[in-house]
Amino acid sequence: MMRRSKTSTSEYLAFLSAKYDVDPDRFFSALILATENKKSKCGDLSIELRGETRDKVMFLILTNLKVVAQLSVFKRFLLENDQPIRNFMKTGKILRLLAKRAGPSKTFYAIKNLRSGMKKICLKAKVLEILTPRPIYTRYGDYATVADALIADETGTIRLCLWNEQIRCVSAGDTVQIENARTTTFRGQPQLNIGKNGLISSLHESTIQMKAVVNT
């Protein structure tokens, strides 16, 4: 992969640093080391010196024997002391690459905005109480344990249905993060359910300033 002429050396190397998850300062030091020792490594990248002229050095960069890039670098660039690669790590192209790698961000809902039939809900709330677990006979012909909990954020409260091992994951007073839940209606009131693909986890520190009070 050859570097496009419109991209500066610093920006292109910053892109490689982000793409292959190597520290930009270590990457820069590895380039300098390759000019001295003909070869160097930085994370999963191998750097080979392939030639030089009066003003430039030519590098071949590989990962697992696969060519990543071939580029020429001015020798004066390798003499810079002001983090020439790191300074370009926040350009739009690199930020887009990092955002894409991280995947879609989660949207956290406020309880007051929940409606019956919603899916893939993420929220943070405080567990106000958990009622005594009770056994039930499911439609699949087996027994399960279920417990009703009441959770709240600064906008309101909602009933949360906990099943089996979910009951042991949290306690009253915990601040929890819930992911991939859905809302249904039970006896005319909305409730939150966490299916087999959902997740509930207790947060060590409360991230919610509680303003809601249990509705009476």
CA distance readout (Å), 92 to 3, 21, 98, 211: 18, 17, 10, 39
In this structure, are residues 50 and 64 in contact, taking their beta carbons and an 8 Å threshold? no
Which of the four CATH numbers 2.30.40.10, 2.40.50.140, 1.10.10.10, 3.20.20.80 does domain 111-203 have?
A: 2.40.50.140
Q: What is the pLDDT of residues 141-160, one digit of tens each?
A: 788 899 999 999 999 999 99
| Confidence at residue 102, expressed as pLDDT on a 0 to 100 scale | 65
Q: What is the pLDDT of residues 8-39, one digit of tens each?
A: 889 999 999 998 989 999 999 999 999 999 99
Question: Cα separation of 212 and 202, whole Å?
Answer: 19
- Region 88-114: mean pLDDT is 80
The H or E element spanning position 191 is strand 189-203
| Confidence at residue 216, expressed as pLDDT on a 0 to 100 scale | 30
Residue ranges per domain, the chain? 9-102, 111-203
In terms of DSSP bridges, do strands 156-163 and 189-203 run parallel, antiparallel, or are they unpaired? Answer: parallel
The pTM assigned to this predicted structure is 0.50
- Region 60-89: mean pLDDT is 90
| Confidence at residue 215, expressed as pLDDT on a 0 to 100 scale | 36
